[in-house]
Amino acid sequence: MAEARLEYRLFIGGSWVPASSGRLIEVEEASTGEPLAEVPEASEADLEEAVEAAAAALPGWSGTPIEERASVLERIAEGISQRTEELATSISREVGTPIRHSRAIQVGNPLQIIAGTVEAARREPLEEEVGNVRVLREPAGVVAAITPWNYPLQQVVAKLAPALAAGCTVVLKVSEVAPLTAFTLAQIAADAGLPGGALNVLTGYGASTGERLVCHRLVDHISFTGSTRAGRRISRLAAERVTPLTMELGGKSASVLLDDAEIEKAAKFCVYNAFLNAGQTCTALTRLLVPRRLQERAVEVAAETASKLAPGDPLDEATRLGPLASSRQLERVRSYIRQGVQAGARLAAGGAEPPAGLERGFYVRPTVFADVEPEMVIAQEEIFGPVLSVIPYESEEAALRIANGTPYGLAGAVWSADQEHALDFARHMRCGTVEVNGGAFSLTAPFGGVKLSGHGREFGRYGLEEFLVPKSLQL
């Protein structure tokens, strides 16, 4: 079969098996819209087999010494590293991430996540004495992991690594938009010595395969990353069995430039952050809040910076802005741009029209809006594309109200020449992560949100704790 029509199978109980439904899902290439591969649509019978395989593998894997589990994870990391180019190319073709970013972030971040998880697993005690009580920290059990398409390898590893380190087994349902790296990862895990059934990989749609998995009687914990709409649905389904949830949902993050901030540096940073992965990032700083008197300079810098990010072929080493992941996402982003114009926001760069010469594929022009009012749709809803809203404010109190004035609370940023002043402002922002003066994002610090951005945390020991259940032995 030609490369453009690669076919895959489900990974269940350590074996590659065809879907009993016989149905296939077509995966498109982001830069052309042409078929890239076909993946199986798991049936209810396939799902039952996968969950039962995970349940059967649980006693053996949970009873494996922590050092052995850590060693398996290290071998998985080694396998990922050895296949960096293959994985990065696959993600660039599926998601549209420029190849340089795919190598450094889409593949590089999972390696850091595994390293941080292994360190935490070796350091954190699984038993401790509290007065006359011996407290055990036991595996949560069978984990249903449901992941999105925007960072397909990272989001899988962020759940898989701590779950396996804790001694859990996993049934993974990956997005049908970008599923291919999950199959490569499954083979890497098997080659690393992960027992059959400890990881099972299913492909299918959220409304069928995902919902059945969430409702399964043998699932002990659900870890989900995706839209707030889907998160609400999963929460309702999980409530029927009172299944614990870890949820990382949407975001509408604000980058606040205080009155003494270095405008040029902060505005450029915000554009690069907001447009990373073509804006398909849940933590993207898509709202730039600036004092009204400084708005024109901030808009000028943002528009100039955006103009340098010309969309292009994601497999070209020179490209810094690739296409969106799907035709559905393309129409969604263009619709929001049109809404911004209709609402009266000033278009400072970009627009809803296709980039010149890139009519094929899912390309969108990098877009900057000025004079955005906080209540506008483009300032309230997650767009998930390269669209930045510059919002002027009159006072710091107003800036804080605007920053906290969306239903989301995943990430944010603040800039000031006075570090302590910036830290004080950051303490009052209602979100799980705040970058202070461009502070580097950490893959071992706790990551997660508040409000409609979800609950629970990932990365390092914080992610590991999500998959461990305390038990008290009264002595």
Place of tokens 């390293």: 115
21-55 tens-digit pLDDT: 999 999 999 999 999 999 999 999 999 999 999 99
* CATH of span 254-442: 3.40.309.10
> Exactly one of 168, 270, 282, 431 is catalytic; which is it?
282
Residue 248 is among the residues annotated as catalytic for this protein: yes
327-360 tens-digit pLDDT: 999 999 999 999 999 999 999 999 999 999 998 9
In the sheet that 454-455 helps form, which strands lie side by side, from edge to edge?
15-17, 10-12, 199-203, 169-174, 142-146, 221-225, 245-248, 454-455
Residue 215 is among the residues annotated as catalytic for this protein: no
pLDDT of 359: 86
142-193 tens-digit pLDDT: 999 999 999 999 999 999 999 999 999 999 999 999 999 999 999 999 999 9
Please tell me the distance from the alpha carbon of residue 256 to that of residue 159, in angstroms, as a whole number: 31
Instruction: Give the DSSP per-residue string, 82-117.
Output: HTHHHHHHHHHHHH---HHHIIIIIIHHHHHHHHHH
366-377 tens-digit pLDDT: 999 999 999 999
Residue from 225, 222, 220 nearest 62 by CA: 220
Please tell me the distance from the alpha carbon of residue 63 to that of residue 74, in angstroms, as a whole number: 19
pLDDT of 1: 30
Beta bridge partners of 171: 144, 200
Pair 261, 396: CB distance under 8 Å: no
Residue from 112, 172, 181, 176 nearest 152 by CA: 181
The domain ranges of the chain are 3-249+452-474, 254-442
Please tell me the distance from the alpha carbon of residue 246 to that of residue 220, in angstroms, as a whole number: 12
Residues listed for the chain: 475
61-113 tens-digit pLDDT: 999 999 999 999 999 999 999 999 999 999 999 999 999 999 999 999 999 99
Q: Encoding tokens for residue 307? A: 């103009």
- Number of C-beta neighbours around residue 185 at 10 A: 26
272-314 tens-digit pLDDT: 999 999 999 999 999 999 999 999 999 999 999 999 999 999 9
> Exactly one of 248, 435, 465, 466 is catalytic; which is it?
248
Pair 441, 272: CB distance under 8 Å: no
Q: Does residue 137 come out as left (phi exceeding 0), alpha (psi in the -120 to 50 range) or beta?
A: beta
Beta bridge partners of 139: 468
Mean of the pLDDT values across residues 197-207? 96
Confidence band for 271, pLDDT divided at 50, 70 and 90: very high
pLDDT of 3: 47
- Residues near 65 by beta carbon (within 8 Å), at least 6 away in sequence: none
Quick one: how many helices (H) and strands (E) in the chain?
16, 21
Q: Judge whether residue 195 has pLDDT over 80.
A: yes
Sign of the dihedral defined by the CA atoms of residues 48, 52, 53, 54, in that order: positive
Q: Which CATH class is domain 3-249+452-474?
A: alpha beta
Mean of the pLDDT values across residues 393-410? 98
- Number of C-beta neighbours around residue 89 at 10 A: 15
Q: Encoding tokens for residue 128? A: 């401790």
Helices (H), 199-261: 211-215, 228-241
Please tell me the distance from the alpha carbon of residue 25 to that of residue 40, in angstroms, as a whole number: 6
